[in-house]
Homo-oligomer: A and B are copies of this chain.
Amino acid sequence: MAKELKDLTKRSEDYSKWYNELVVKADLAESADVRGCMVIKPYGYAIWERIQQSLDARFKETGVQNVYFPMLIPKSFLSKEAEHVEGFAKECAVVTHYRLKANEEGDGVVVDPAARLEEELIIRPTSETTIWNTYRKWIHSWRDLPLCCNQWCNVMRWEMRTRLFLRTSEFLWQEGHTAHATREEAEERARQMLDVYADFAKDVLAIPVVRGVKSETERFAGALDTYTIEAMMQDGKALQSGTSHFLGQNFGKAFNVQFINKENKPEFAWATSWGVSTRLMGALIMTHSDDNGLVLPPHLAPIQVVMVPIYKGKDDLSALDKVFDELAATFKQMGIRVKYDNADNKRPGFKFADYELKGVPVRLVMGSKDLQNGTIELMRRDTLEKETLPLEGIAAHVGKLLEEIQTNLYTKAKQRLDSHIWECNDYAEFKERIKQGGFYLCPWDGTAETEAQIKADTQATIRCVPYGYSQENLGNDMVSGKPAVCRVVVARSY
């Protein structure tokens, strides 16, 4: 059984297959009975809950309040903002009826044709439209601003090709929607939330990201600017992990949200929206995990330390129970999430493989000999290194080690990112090198034509105009040869 658990495709053999297997074998999620949707299983959901809690606290620190808006949106709302409808109408789940009835010509139930809605409703793909239609009632004066709301909810975008966590028709996310009295304040909020995402990715997920701004082609439908954090997966592909949009007055105008400004004149409100989703689970898996399974950063892990006894008889076990119970109490006092697994229906080897697969950062094992010697065996998941240590002082040691593992995971990921991001000015070279993955800093002439050309030739896209990388000595666009306006990150992506 332990062997079967571990029977995971190697990353070097087939990275994509490794990912798909890992999600299922580590009990994170599985495909649902409805095409393109997923079931998030208890262990996967426990990780998502920790993501939620950490982000939610960070949002609230910036003055954001949670709310809940309906999941159904009148079809007509979607077409009020011209670009928004282009972006989202194509992939909507549409509710047309509100009743089923017994099938008179056979078994089961059929849609009752008499219960047809006057106006069809769509399941929210994102909620700008319905929220801004309500903000009109909430915003009257500059005193009502800023208004900073967020909701944790499900959304639906009909997808033809789906993958667990990375792209599913229904997914869970948070969407923040803020309204402001000035353009500057809205732009600042959009950038602030990008920083919240980037800091969270670093501090909790141990994922380094490139921050930047999207090209016009890659912008959110209805935004003036889309800010993004892009993470690099182990195969060198980019994964867009969070976006924050400066929406200008587009939704304010589309839904007629006006306020009386300090000069006593009516003005349209300025908007932002920003979101991260269960996609982060995919980023997490593909950043740290290895051929033995999931590797979780300690700050995120639902179980930080697992303790397993090795025993022959009941006396053995009760002696070990005593030591482990005390140790568990100590860990809990230290705020460390610990699990003591003394279940007798699984062998230690099975438990070892299972917790390795599930990415628990630290494993502690004791047998009768350890008990006599006053020792305990420790394994750290990130390096798989084992050592036998004195039992005395083990809790403090583990406390420090968890921080060390957190730092180590981030450092490893940061080194990979830094060593796979290159300047590239020559298109022939680019076309060759992009096959091996990586981020390429390329001079761009700013045109959609060039962008389309790159995509057509290489499947790579402009991920963003990055912050923190030099924008000097741009030279010429590597495709068109025209003078470049900026240096962009080009990469293949999920």
Complex Cα distance, B71 from A126, in Å, reads 16
Complex Cα distance, B102 from A13, in Å, reads 45
Q: A170-B70, A172-B68 are in contact. Are A100 and B111 (CB under 8 A)?
A: no
Select which of B66, B72, B93, B99 is within 8 A of A72 by beta carbon: B93
Q: Is the CB of A75 within 8 A of B45?
A: no
User: Which residues of B are found within 8 Å of A96, using beta-carbon distances?
Assistant: 94-97, 111
Select which of B32, B48, B99 is within 8 A of A158 by beta carbon: B99
Counted per complex, copies of this chain come to 2
The answer to the question of A73 belonging to the interface, with a C-beta cut-off of 8 Å to chain B, is yes
Most chain B beta-carbon contacts within 10 A, residue among A40, A72, A149: A72
Residue ID in chain B nearest A108 by CB atoms: B79
Complex Cα distance, B40 from A294, in Å, reads 38
User: Which residues of B are found within 8 Å of A322, using beta-carbon distances?
Assistant: none
Question: For window 317-361 of chain A, which residues contact chain B by CB distance below 8 Å?
Answer: 345
Question: For window 40-61 of chain A, which residues contact chain B by CB distance below 8 Å?
Answer: 40-42, 45-46, 48-49
Interface-side segment among A84-92, A195-203, A240-248, A431-439: A84-92
Select which of B32, B37, B65, B75 is within 8 A of A109 by beta carbon: B75
Select which of B48, B70, B75 is within 8 A of A37 by beta carbon: B70
Number of residues of chain A lying within 8 A (CB) of chain B = 65
The distance from the CB of A250 to the nearest CB of chain B, in whole angstroms, is 17
Q: Is the CB of A49 within 8 A of B33?
A: no
User: Which residues of B are found within 8 Å of A345, using beta-carbon distances?
Assistant: 143
Q: Is the CB of A94 within 8 A of B85?
A: no
Q: Is the CB of A39 within 8 A of B98?
A: no
Q: Is the CB of B134 within 8 A of A71?
A: no
Complex Cα distance, B205 from A491, in Å, reads 53
Q: Is the CB of A45 within 8 A of B74?
A: no
Complex Cα distance, B41 from A38, in Å, reads 29
User: Which residues of B are found within 8 Å of A45, using beta-carbon distances?
Assistant: 65-68
User: Which residues of B are found within 8 Å of A137, using beta-carbon distances?
Assistant: 30
The answer to the question of A375 belonging to the interface, with a C-beta cut-off of 8 Å to chain B, is no
The answer to the question of A120 belonging to the interface, with a C-beta cut-off of 8 Å to chain B, is yes
Select which of B40, B65, B74, B75 is within 8 A of A100 by beta carbon: B75
The answer to the question of A114 belonging to the interface, with a C-beta cut-off of 8 Å to chain B, is no
Complex Cα distance, B42 from A29, in Å, reads 32
Q: List 16 A-B contacts (CB under 8 A).
A: A30-B134, A32-B130, A34-B73, A34-B130, A37-B72, A39-B67, A42-B65, A42-B67, A45-B65, A48-B68, A79-B108, A85-B109, A89-B99, A90-B99, A91-B98, A92-B99
Q: Which 7 A-B pairs give the minimum distances between C-beta atoms?
A: A42-B65, A37-B70, A40-B68, A89-B100, A79-B108, A94-B97, A98-B158
